[in-house]
Amino acid sequence: MEKILVLDFGGQYNQLIARRVREQKIYAEIRAWNRISLEEIQEAKYIGIIFTGGPNSVYEEGAPAFDPEILNLGVPILGICYGDQLLSHLAGGLVSSAGDAGEYGSTALYTSDHPLFANVPEQSVCFMSHRDQVARIPEGFQVIAHTDHCKTAAIADDRRWLYGLQFHPEVSHTEYGRQMLKNFLYGICGAAGDWQPENYVQEMIEQYRKELAGKKVLLALSGGVDSSVAALLLHQAIGENLVAVFVDHGLLRKGEADLVERTFRDSFGLNLIRVNAAPRFHSRLAGIVDPEKKRKIIGEVFIRVFEEEARKLGKIDYLAQGTIYPDIIESGRGDSAVIKSHHNVGGLPERMAFSGIVEPLRDLFKDEVRKVGEILGLPKALVYRQPFPGPGLGVRIIGKITGNKVRILQEADAIFREEIDKAQLPENPNQYFAVLTNTKAVGVKGDARSYGYTVALRAVSTDDFMTAEWTRLPYELLARASSRITNEIPEIARVVYDISSKPPATVEFE
């Protein structure tokens, strides 16, 4: 399989670069600059290398760099932003601060006739974000694009297949960025475009069928996209030998636990064990107010219940997890490897005896996982399920949790989600839900004074959940949701809409 190396120098768009490459049907892998050697790069036979952006200056002490021999491998290289400056620096050019002429944001770009700019007009818009720039291009290079403030917006050494872009082709603000990446990948690296999640699915199924023959594999199914897709994939490979344990902690959304059971046991015929552990979770959570304590308890009880089920099953060979690629990418920012384990099963492998862990989705980005889910026939409601926190409604009930409060919140949340779905918005919020606040308020229902809970509705639009805007939902939609919630749920007297963005607020209330 042809592969592109995305050599990570710590920039913020590195995952986006890899996703853009994969969109072009070429497999891309991200490696941190300080965790891969020249020899490994040579052995891996990449068809092209992309140097990413990064926050440093090439002359700073300890700034990310690489063995200059990488330029002589005969593998095409595209440097982006810091990657462009580093490429120039390694090739003997001069990088300097652009001073006040640093550029941030959309800028007019003037390109010349060059294969990197095939099907790109002479003038277009690019996205710049830099302080430094290439002041003197290295020998053998030529300038192939400029902006009003940057004379060296794109440079090329066609003889050695080295290219540098000061701007960011991977972000959507660069009008023809996709085309430029395509030109690099197909026109310059000579890619054939053989990467498709469809092929991956078949390959993985075949591989696991052989590797896991006769082995018993246990998977914690949460109903989330990742564990669901991992479950279906493994089920196709090893059938009955995959045992999926679904712990219903009684903090899921309305109807969700039944949907999971129906989908996986009835439609797909999975060997599924549903554990109705709601009473156990609720009793452990009784009286607890502190959100971090709630999270801790939910995590602990989850592990306990899961372990007990596993023990009943006898010998299990492997534990399967829905880890995806962004969970395992090592950052090029110089920090130690950041490896997240699946939230819900964190801590399990150490406590239980398995011969190993199976992670069928570890090479895939979220959008690819969804595609695989569709290929495997997972219902759309699960494929496009919005993110839902492991501790579930436990962190959306402010204050003490009771079974009654869970039911009230489930109803309100279901109405809000239903109204959003019915509204068929041009674009749905990325996450939307109801929260049961701890505030009671006076209202009037019929002729009588009522006293009931205040429910908060929350909807956010975001790319990565690190920052988020509150979604400007149409007033009519909010009005319908509010009126239905107060009419249909007697315990609720008041509905408010949360208009805080992140930061300073977070997505969840707790």
Catalytic site residue from 2, 81, 256, 491: 81
**Amino acid identity of 299?**
G
Q: Is 423 left (phi over 0), alpha (psi -120 to 50) or beta?
A: alpha
Tell the smallest beta-carbon distance from residue 297 to ligand XMP (Å).
Answer: 12
The residue (of 423 and 505) whose beta carbon lies closer to ligand XMP is 505
d(CA 341, CA 20): 26
- Pick from 121, 239, 387, 490 the residue near ligand XMP by CB under 6 A: 387
- Pick from 114, 343, 362, 366 the residue near ligand XMP by CB under 6 A: 343
d(CA 510, CA 295): 10
Asked if 95 contacts 179 with a C-beta cutoff of 8 angstroms, the reply is no
The residue (of 143 and 328) whose beta carbon lies closer to ligand XMP is 328
Please confirm, yes or no, whether 126 is among the known catalytic residues.
Answer: no
**Any contact of residue 508 with ligand XMP (CB under 6 A)?**
yes
**Alpha carbon separation from 240 to 1, 234, 329 (Å, rounded):** 31, 10, 32
Buried b (16+ CB within 10 A) or exposed e, 366-389: bebbbbbbebbebeeebbebeebb
Tokens of 61: 């002490």
Tokens of 452: 């009931």
Tell the smallest beta-carbon distance from residue 396 to ligand XMP (Å).
Answer: 9
The closest of 130, 156, 131 to 143, measured between CA atoms, is: 156
Tell the smallest beta-carbon distance from residue 41 to ligand XMP (Å).
Answer: 35
The residue (of 317 and 508) whose beta carbon lies closer to ligand XMP is 508
**Any contact of residue 431 with ligand XMP (CB under 6 A)?**
yes
Asked if 270 contacts 235 with a C-beta cutoff of 8 angstroms, the reply is yes
Stretch that binds ligand XMP, among 69-77, 213-221, 388-396, 400-408 (CB under 6 A): 388-396
Tell the smallest beta-carbon distance from residue 386 to ligand XMP (Å).
Answer: 8
Residue 331 DSSP symbol: P
**Any contact of residue 392 with ligand XMP (CB under 6 A)?**
no
Taking the C-alpha atoms of 5, 11, 12 and 15 in order, what is their torsion angle to the nearest 10 degrees?
10
The closest of 160, 153, 154, 146 to 188, measured between CA atoms, is: 160
The residue (of 93 and 391) whose beta carbon lies closer to ligand XMP is 391
Tell the smallest beta-carbon distance from residue 121 to ligand XMP (Å).
Answer: 39
Tokens of 399: 């204050």
Catalytic site residue from 126, 130, 150, 168: 168
**Any contact of residue 389 with ligand XMP (CB under 6 A)?**
yes
Stretch that binds ligand XMP, among 85-93, 118-126, 385-393, 403-411 (CB under 6 A): 385-393
Stretch that binds ligand XMP, among 58-66, 244-252, 254-262, 382-390 (CB under 6 A): 382-390
Tell the smallest beta-carbon distance from residue 256 to ligand XMP (Å).
Answer: 15
Give, for 27, the enclosing helix (H) or strand (E).
Answer: strand 27-32
**Any contact of residue 506 with ligand XMP (CB under 6 A)?**
yes
Query: From residue 122 to residue 161, what is the string marking binding to ligand XMP with x (rule CB under 6 A)?
Result: ----------------------------------------
Asked if 480 contacts 441 with a C-beta cutoff of 8 angstroms, the reply is no
- Pick from 295, 366, 440, 480 the residue near ligand XMP by CB under 6 A: 295
List phi, psi (to 5°) of 340: -85, 135
| 3-state class (DSSP) for residue 443 | strand
d(CA 392, CA 224): 11
d(CA 371, CA 229): 10
The residue (of 142 and 506) whose beta carbon lies closer to ligand XMP is 506
**Any contact of residue 322 with ligand XMP (CB under 6 A)?**
no
- Pick from 93, 250, 391, 452 the residue near ligand XMP by CB under 6 A: 391
The residues in 457-476 that bind ligand XMP, with binding defined as CB under 6 A, are 465
**Any contact of residue 3 with ligand XMP (CB under 6 A)?**
no
| 3-state class (DSSP) for residue 185 | helix
The closest of 472, 370, 489 to 426, measured between CA atoms, is: 472
Catalytic site residue from 170, 309, 368, 510: 170
Stretch that binds ligand XMP, among 95-103, 212-220, 244-252, 384-392 (CB under 6 A): 384-392
Question: How many positions of this chain bind ligand XMP (CB under 6 A)?
Answer: 12
- Pick from 79, 169, 360, 390 the residue near ligand XMP by CB under 6 A: 390
Please confirm, yes or no, whether 170 is among the known catalytic residues.
Answer: yes
The residue (of 104 and 465) whose beta carbon lies closer to ligand XMP is 465
List phi, psi (to 5°) of 507: -70, -55
The closest of 98, 90, 211 to 157, measured between CA atoms, is: 90
Residues 6+ apart with CB under 8 A from 66: 7, 33, 38, 51, 86, 90
Applying CB under 6 A, the residues found at the interface with ligand XMP are 295, 343, 387, 389-391, 431, 465, 502, 506-508
- Which residue numbers are catalytic? 81, 168, 170
